[in-house]
Structure 1
């Protein structure tokens, strides 16, 4: 239990660090615009939410990385929102869907690498 709480805090800190550093935000929540103005990232966000609700976490993470555009900060926001949402799931939900807090942390570190951010949290 203590170890899981530690990992959750570590993930939360990683997300906040990236949000403050690259998005100038204290919290990250990907917000959708009016439907007629949807961008590619907005459609990906909607699909990620659907997959997460269905418990298809691995498929959602694959979708995120397959579409990642490191030249666009909206993708950083999308990725941070995704991992923050994952981190907020209960351990039972993650376990039932073959995912772990460690995998969330690994995914975030991969985001660090893809966006060429030094990782100070090893």
Structure 2
């Protein structure tokens, strides 16, 4: 879990020039595409559909838009906070979280 947290922090620093990452929704009357995507990802995580959520994240990923990067890092940070038994029931693992973070880094041209 610590490796994942360290990866999230390192990527936040490199890609966003931030020490931490937490996606924040816009004003509800002005939701952006990333806001709607964030809500959908949270819903899928809650339902235990983490693989589906990750697939959606990569389908929608726009590497030129910092909000998508922030969204992606927030996504993996949230997954890292889930209990192991929830991840297992959701057919997902900490290794997959790490692999997803590395894939995001690669998409952004950051080699880890």
Mark yes or no: TM-score above 0.5. yes
Report Cα offsets for 1:29-50 as digits up to 9, x if no partner.
0000111111111110000000
After TM superposition, give the deviation of residue 24 of structure 1 in Å.
2.0
Unpaired segments ≥5 residues, structure 1: 1-7
CA distance in 1, matches of 2:14, 2:98: 18
Q: What is the TM-score with the length of structure 2 in the denominator?
A: 0.97
Unpaired segments ≥5 residues, structure 2: none
Q: CA RMSD in A?
A: 0.7
Equivalent residues in 2 for 1:22-101, closer than 5 Å:
22-101=15-94
Q: What is the TM-score with the length of structure 1 in the denominator?
A: 0.89
After TM superposition, give the deviation of residue 22 of structure 1 in Å.
1.9
Aligned pairs, number: 112
